[in-house]
Amino acid sequence: MNGRKLSSRPHEVWRSRLTAVLLSTASAASALAADTVFIGGAPGGDRWDLDANWSAGAPVSASTRALLGNSFSLVASGSFAVSTLHGNRFLQVVGGEIELNAPGSTLGQLYLQGGRLTGPGSLTARSLDWEAGELAGPALTVTGNARLRGALQGGASRVELLGVSTAGQAALQFAGGGAAFIQRGSLTASGSLAFDVTDNAAWINTGVMTLKDGRLRTSGGTISQTGTLNIADSGHFVLDHNGADNMLSTGNWHIGKEATLSVVGVAAWHDFASGTVDNRGTLKVDAPQLGTVVAFGTTATLRGPGGLEVGRAAFISHNAETMQLGWVRLAGPEDPIEHGPGSITLAGGLTVDRLDWGHGNLEAGGPVTVNGDAKLHGWGWNASTSGDPAFNKLMRGTWNFHGDVTWDGAVPIIGDGTVNIAEGARFLDNNVYRPGFEELSARFVSATVNNDGTYLMAGGGVTGIARVNNRGTIRLVGGSELHLHGFRNHGRVEVLDSRAAINLEHLSVLEGVYLIRNGELAPYGNGPERLHHNRAELVLDGAGSRQSVFGPQLDNDGRLAALHGAVLQLGALRQLGELEIDGASGARLSGSFIQTGASARTWIDGWLAASGMHLEGGLFSAGLEGQTGHAELDVQQVSFISGVLLVDIRDRADFDTVSVDGQAQLGGALQLLFGEVPPAYGVYRFLSASGGVSGRFDSVDWELDPALYRVSVLYGANFVELGVSAVPEPASWLLTLFGGLVAVYRNRRSSRRR
C-alpha cells in the first residue's frame, strides 16, 4: 500500500484475504480451534492442497471444519478430511479426495469433474454439476438445479435431487446398503441416462422424471416409483430388475408415442400397486430365464393406444376390472421347455384394437374384445390331465372378435370359453394338420363359437369345433374338413371342394343355407342318426357334390337344388317346399316322391328317378323357374292328383316338355303360360308317357285372349298335346252358316222330288 496504486487483481486478492481474516476474527468466540478458513490467494491458485490458501492449513482431520465462505476453491489432488465444510459459492473437485465425517455440510455449488467424496457425513448443495468423479459414502442433497453427465460413481452414497435437474449422456452407479438415488424434483434427460443399483441400494422417484433413452438396472436393489416417470416420444428405457427385492410403483408412467419401456430381468417382481401407466408406445416384458413378474394392483391402470408385448418367461398379472390398450402381443420362444412361457393373466376384461397371440398364455376373468385384427399362432402352456404341461391355447370366458382373425392351428384351442365372431368380421382357420399327417390328431376347438361374420377354413387340415351357432357364413375351401359336434345353423354354410361333417345326435331339422360345390355334407361319426326334416336351402353344385345327412324318409319344407351335374340322393321325399334340378343334374330317390301343400314348388329341367310320383298339391313344371325345359321322370307312375302342372310356352320350338318312363295319371289343374310374343298356331306335345296316359285335367287355364285364340287339349293314348288356333272372323262364320242353310234347303227339295 505505502501510497502505491495496486492493480485490480491484487486489490481483489487482498480484499478476499481481508474478508477471510475478518470472518475468522468475528467468529473466533464460537469457532473451534480446529476450524480452518479458506482465504485463497496463494501463488499456485485457489487450490486446497496449498496450505497458504488456508488460515490454519489445509484440513486433514476428521474434527476440522473447513469454512469456504464466499470463495471459489478447487480440489485437484491430495487427501483431505473434515468434520464438515461450509461455503456459499463454488467448490470444484477434479481430483483428490475429501472425507466428510459428520452431517451438516453446506455448499452453494458443487462441481464434480473427478476425485472422490468419501466418509459417513452429509452435504447439502444449492446446485450440482456432476460429470465425473465418485461419491463413496456421503449423503448429497441438492436443493436447486443439478446437471448430470458422464460416468458417475455414486458408490454407497445417498444422492437426493430436490430441484430442477437435467442430464445428458450419463451413467450412475450405486451399490451397498444405504446407497440411494432419490429424485424428488424434476429431472429431464436429453440423452441416454443409465442407473446401476446393486447390493441393497435403492432407486427412488417421487417427483417428475422425463427420459429419452437409458436403463435402470438393479441386482439385489430396490425400486420405488411414487411420482411421475415419462418416457419421451421414440425413446427406449430398460428396466432391468434382478433378484428377490421388489420394485414398487404407486405413481404414474407415461410411455410416449413410439417409445418403449422394456422390463427385463431374472426372478424379479415388479409391483404396480396403484397409479396409471399411460401407454402410447410399447410396454415390453421379457426374461432370459426363470421369469420376471409384472403385477398391476386393483387400483392400478394400464391403458392407452400403445401396446403390451410379453416374451420369454415373463408373467403379467392385471387385477383391475378391465385393461384397454391399442394392441397386445405374446411372443414367447419356440422352445417352451428351455425358456419357459410368457403369460398374461387378467382378473377382469381386455379390450384391444389388435391381438397377436403367439407362444404363451392369455387368460382373462372378463370379456376379451378385439376391435381389429387378431392372430392366433404358436403354442400355449397348460396343465394336462396327467399333470404334465400341454401346449394348447386356453380360451375361457368370452372372446369378441370384430376384425380379421387368423389361426394357424398349431395347437388345439381348449377351454369352455365363448368365441363371438361379429358381423363383418372374419375368422381364418389355416389349420393344415390332419390325422396321420405330421400330427396324431386333428385340431380341436372346445370353445363355443357364435358366428355372425365369416368362418373361413382354408388350410386343408381337419378341425373340430365343440359347439357352433352360425348366423353368418361358414366357408370351407382347399380340401379342408370341418367337424361340427354341436351345430345350429341360421346362416350360410359353403363347402367348396371340402367336407363338412355334422353331429346329428341332437339335431332334428336342418336349417339355414348350405352350398355344396364339389364337396360333401355328411354326418359326423358312424352313428345311425340321420335327419328326417329339412327347412334349409341345400344346393348341390357340381358333379362332385354329395350329401348323406338325410334319412330314408324326408319332409322338405326348405329348398333342395341340384345344379351343374349334381345328383341329389334321397330316400322317400315328402315335398312341401321347393325342389330345383337343372338340365345337367338329377335326383335319385330310393322311395316315392309325394308333393303336397299349396306352397310346394318343383322345377325339373333334368331327371328324377323314384318308385312313384304323386302330385297332391303345389306346382310342378319342367325347366327352372321362369325358363322352359325338359323333365325326365323315371317312375312307374306319376299321378297329377291335385295341384298345378305349369307349362311355359315361348314358341313352337321352345316350350316345356315332360317325359314319363311309366304311366301318367292326369288330374288337377293345367296352367299354360305363354310368352310375350304371340304364340304360333299349331300343336304342342308337352307330355308323353311310355306306359300310357289316363284321365284328364280337372281344369285348364291360360292367359290368351279368347276372342283371338282357341286353345284345346288333345289326349292321346300315351301323350297329351295342346292345340292353338285362331278364332274365325265374324264374316267367315256367316258364310259358313249361310252355306249350311243352302245345303239343307237343297237336300229337302231333292227329297220332295223323289
Is the CB of residue 508 less than 8 Å from the CB of residue 527? Answer: no
Plot region of 199 (φ>0 → left; ψ -120 to 50 → alpha; else → beta): left
Q: What is the pLDDT of residues 225-238, one digit of tens each?
A: 999 999 999 999 99
Is the CB of residue 98 less than 8 Å from the CB of residue 116? Answer: yes
State the Cα–Cα distance between residues 336 and 350, nearest whole angstrom.
25
Task: Provide the 3-class DSSP secondary structure of residue 336.
Answer: helix
State the Cα–Cα distance between residues 319 and 296, nearest whole angstrom.
6
pTM: 0.84
The predicted pLDDT at position 746 comes to 47
Measured CA distances, 665 to 595, 686, 687 (Å): 15, 15, 11
The predicted pLDDT at position 419 comes to 97
Q: What is the pLDDT of residues 273-285, one digit of tens each?
A: 999 999 999 999 9
List the chain domain ranges: 592-730
Which residues, listed in sequence order, are joined to residue 207 by a DSSP beta bridge? none
The predicted pLDDT at position 546 comes to 97
DSSP state of 52: G
β-pairing, 202-205 with 222-225?
Answer: parallel
Task: Provide the 3-class DSSP secondary structure of residue 741.
Answer: helix
Q: Which residues of the chain have pLDDT under 70?
A: 1-33, 244-245, 290, 334-340, 382-389, 436-441, 527, 730-754
Is the CB of residue 263 less than 8 Å from the CB of residue 287? Answer: no
Task: At 334, list the grid cell.
Answer: 419356440
Residue owning grid cell 313352337: 652
Is the CB of residue 75 less than 8 Å from the CB of residue 44? Answer: no
The predicted pLDDT at position 105 comes to 98
Q: How many CB atoms lie within 10 A of CB 567?
A: 17
Q: What is the pLDDT of residues 493-540, one digit of tens each?
A: 999 999 999 999 888 999 999 999 999 999 987 767 899 999 999 999
How many helices and strands in the chain, by DSSP H and E? 3, 76
State the Cα–Cα distance between residues 524 and 505, nearest whole angstrom.
9
The predicted pLDDT at position 8 comes to 37
Closest among 339, 340, 263, 258 to 295, alpha carbons compared? 263
Amino acid at 72: F
The predicted pLDDT at position 34 comes to 86
Is the CB of residue 181 less than 8 Å from the CB of residue 197? Answer: yes
State the Cα–Cα distance between residues 590 and 237, nearest whole angstrom.
75
The predicted pLDDT at position 177 comes to 85
Task: Provide the 3-class DSSP secondary structure of residue 667.
Answer: coil
